[in-house]
Structure 1
Amino acid sequence: MKRILLLATGGTIASRPTAAGGLAPMITSDELLACVPELAGVCHMDAVQLFNLDSTSVGPAQWAQIAAEVRRRYDDYDGFVITHGTDTMAYTAAALSYMIQQSPKPVVLTGSQKSIYNRDTDARNNLYRAVLYACHDTAWGVQLVFDGKVILGTRARKTRTKSFNAFSSIDYPNTAEFRDLRLIPFLPRPAEYGQVRFYEKLDPSVFVLRLIPGMRADIIPLLADHCKALILESFGVGGLPGGDDGELFAAVRDWCAAGRLVVFTTQVPHEGSDLGVYEVGRAAKALPGVLEARDMTPEAAAVKLMWALGQSCDRAEVSRLFLTPVQFDVV
């Protein structure tokens, strides 16, 4: 039997009703396992309660804690399953993809739309299948298992707020899928996944600004004292209203002239950015310090930038790290 470590972090899957009428994480890691007794016949499991938080409260400090625990116990287990709230699970999946790279062992995130406290919800099914995947000989890397789908950590996005099929793989195939309890692998473990690489540092001084028609440009200088990098969610394939004669272009030019980075992405859910298509984007693309997220998810782009800033203070090196593909985050 394989050895799997469950790392519990809270979320809806571990929630109970409070006296005020809402849900809050209160169920422990051992209680989670007790809710799915069938797991005893699948593998040998140990459980650790890292923290018990609503996922809206999970961020870089918690990502570092999860990665450190996986690193500390990596040689003792064949795989890892992390239970997590759904609201920020895509961010955590992306963060772990950059902090735990080229892992031949699976690091699997899962959660649910309804608590495991309730009967006949998605919670037990998702946890059971996450463990099944972690035990499978074809499993690898940081993955998210939800509603029978296995999704790369860098490609996962929450696309529904209430339905059980809450997560989608954006512009990339699923790693695998379950047909009932049978796993059908689609993407094999890459040949280079032989020696895991762990990273510890993240720099969260990143701000994401969504452009809207008529937005004033003077919002950008206000961020200068707080952020090293700015992600602009632009329209369509990307660009700045007014082109190189506009106030937004001047603000971005001044931001980059101070040694900071700007990453352009798109508000459109699929197919990514391409600043070279229109003149309003071409001038911005030519500025030193301007990068493109291309077809990266917004979650992956934001977290990868935090990771790259955590590795270097040199803008050229941060740019290189950001543009280098990691676990198929950009193609």
Structure 2
Amino acid sequence: MEKIPRILLVLTGGTIGSAVNDGCIDVDSRRSDDLLAIYNEQSNCQVEFEVVRPFNILSENAEPKHWLQIIETLQSHRLCDYDGVIIAHGSDTLPYTGAALSYGLDSPLIPIVLVAANYAIGQPNSNAIANFSAAVAFIINMKLPGFYTLYENSDHIIYVHLATRLQEADWLRDDFTSFGDPLGVFDHRGLCCVPSPKNPSMLKLYNPTPDCVPTIAEFRNEVLALRAYPGLNYEVINLHNRPIRAVLHSLYHCGSGNVTGENGTSLLSFIKNNPQVDHYLISYKNIQGDLYASCRELIAAGGIPLENISFEAAVTKLNFAYNQQEYAPLNYVKREFFYEFLRDAKENGYVI
């Protein structure tokens, strides 16, 4: 007799776990029953689901402590007893949780898939069931170890993203994109990969390197993130006598920031005036290549450049780096966990 697939379903709330009542969208614990009932009604695949609910919130209310709750929930189960894990999550903070799982869990030998929805179950144009069904099929048919997000965009294509490369959804169409390219698309043919020198090969993904990650006991709110824009007044940000250990500066696309501004608008002055804080700079592509003068000044002042990592993955990583005890924070940040850094490699981008 063929073994019935077994999937651990982790429910956390979000739109995929919400209902609409009198024009108000909010989490509703009964939605999980609807999710499984509709899936079982529409699918001819028999699956055994074990359901757990570590919390039930709209994901805009998620904090690092919620990452830890999901991580501890998964660690409390023998994941080798399951064919895969599905985490039903809100879309707002989905990229941050996806990255957090890769930093907080030892390298898995099964697929761990995050799904979300654009509208609540039962609403017109909701992609909740499509995303959930695709995640089930992906786990059963692909058996691809690692951390992934499956999501149907407004073009009705279901994209497969490496969870560490997912970026926030756009405000207009609620579509998700990957930092770089998605891993591929998923349909009746299975996973159709996007050939890209920056994507890991399927051979790499199917043969993960055993990896133990540092333990996090709790998250202290000691990381600040700032996005550059013209006129940002750094003088209103007082880091002295505040429990901030690191600042992530999301700069302009070429890694540049204001170094000449007056009336508090100089990032260069902000870094020099706050030497007690580690300043990380992102949006760099190649710090060994030609850099703008402003980039060189920021680095010379103590800014730490990070290459080829998204804002979402970087700020999440800093939260882990400054709350673990096994590595110096900078060494932790530079360590790769699950392809969060885009790197060109000759063996990348090939499909099996």
> If the length of structure 1 is used for normalisation, what is the TM-score?
0.86
Of stretches 216-225 and 82-91 in structure 1, the one that deviates more from structure 2 is 216-225
Match of 1:285 in 2: 299
Change (3 A) 1:107 1:23: same
Asked if structure 1 preserves the Cα contact closer than 8 Å seen for 2:107 and 2:211, the reply is: yes
Deviation digits for residues 181-237 of structure 1 (CA, Å, limit 9, x no counterpart): 633356421534346647434443111112222333323434651311111122232
* Equivalent position amino acid for 2:66 in 1: Q
Query: Residues of 2 paired with 1:236 and 1:119: CA distance?
Result: 37
Of stretches 37-46 and 129-138 in structure 1, the one that deviates more from structure 2 is 37-46
Map of 1:89-104 to 2, 5 A cutoff?
Answer: 89-104=94-109
Runs of 4+ deviating beyond 6 Å: none
Query: Residues of 1 paired with 2:233 and 2:173: CA distance?
Result: 37
Change (3 A) 1:125 1:215: closer
Asked if structure 1 preserves the Cα contact closer than 8 Å seen for 2:85 and 2:113, the reply is: yes
* Equivalent position amino acid for 1:255 in 2: N
Of stretches 35-44 and 53-62 in structure 1, the one that deviates more from structure 2 is 35-44
Query: Residues of 2 paired with 1:210 and 1:90: CA distance?
Result: 17
Q: Which runs of 5+ in 2 are unaligned?
A: 153-157, 195-200, 344-352
Tell me the SS of whatever aligns to 2:98: helix
Q: What percent identity do the matched residue pairs reach? A: 24
Matched, 1:306 2:297: no
Query: Residues of 1 paired with 2:168 and 2:253: CA distance?
Result: 21
Of stretches 57-66 and 271-280 in structure 1, the one that deviates more from structure 2 is 271-280
Among candidates 216, 225, 232, match of residue 200 of structure 1: 216
Among candidates 15, 22, 25, match of residue 12 of structure 1: 15
Give, in angstroms, the shift of residue 23 of structure 1: 0.6
Matched, 1:158 2:154: no
Matched, 1:31 2:34: yes
Matched, 1:251 2:270: yes
Tell me the SS of whatever aligns to 1:114: coil
Change (3 A) 1:47 1:313: closer
Matched, 1:177 2:185: yes
* Equivalent position amino acid for 1:132 in 2: A
Q: Which runs of 5+ in 1 are unaligned?
A: none
Query: Residues of 2 paired with 1:197 and 1:40: CA distance?
Result: 38
Match of 1:212 in 2: 229
Matched, 1:226 2:222: no
Asked if structure 1 preserves the Cα contact closer than 8 Å seen for 2:121 and 2:129, the reply is: yes
Give, in angstroms, the shift of residue 112 of structure 1: 0.8
Map of 1:46-195 to 2, 5 A cutoff?
Answer: 46-73=50-77, 74-118=79-123, 121-147=126-152, 148-161=158-171, 163=173, 166-171=175-180, 173-180=181-188, 182-184=190-192, 187-188=201-202, 189=205, 191-194=207-210
Deviation digits for residues 108-152 of structure 1 (CA, Å, limit 9, x no counterpart): 100110111336631111000011112234411111111111111
Query: Residues of 2 paired with 1:197 and 1:65: CA distance?
Result: 16
> If the length of structure 2 is used for normalisation, what is the TM-score?
0.81
Asked if structure 1 preserves the Cα contact closer than 8 Å seen for 2:169 and 2:176, the reply is: yes
* Equivalent position amino acid for 2:209 in 1: Y
Of stretches 140-149 and 71-80 in structure 1, the one that deviates more from structure 2 is 71-80
* Equivalent position amino acid for 1:150 in 2: V
* Equivalent position amino acid for 2:133 in 1: Y
Report how many residues are paired. 319
Asked if structure 2 preserves the Cα contact closer than 8 Å seen for 1:11 and 1:54, the reply is: yes
Change (3 A) 1:194 1:2: farther
Give, in angstroms, the shift of residue 243 of structure 1: 5.4
RMSD (CA atoms): 2.7
Match of 2:279 in 1: 262
Query: Residues of 2 paired with 1:322 and 1:287: CA distance?
Result: 20
Tell me the SS of whatever aligns to 1:133: helix
Asked if structure 1 preserves the Cα contact closer than 8 Å seen for 2:105 and 2:213, the reply is: yes
Match of 2:197 in 1: none
Of stretches 131-140 and 242-251 in structure 1, the one that deviates more from structure 2 is 242-251
Change (3 A) 1:243 1:326: farther
Among candidates 335, 339, 343, match of residue 324 of structure 1: 335
Asked if structure 1 preserves the Cα contact closer than 8 Å seen for 2:118 and 2:128, the reply is: yes
Asked if structure 1 preserves the Cα contact closer than 8 Å seen for 2:141 and 2:190, the reply is: no
Change (3 A) 1:273 1:85: farther
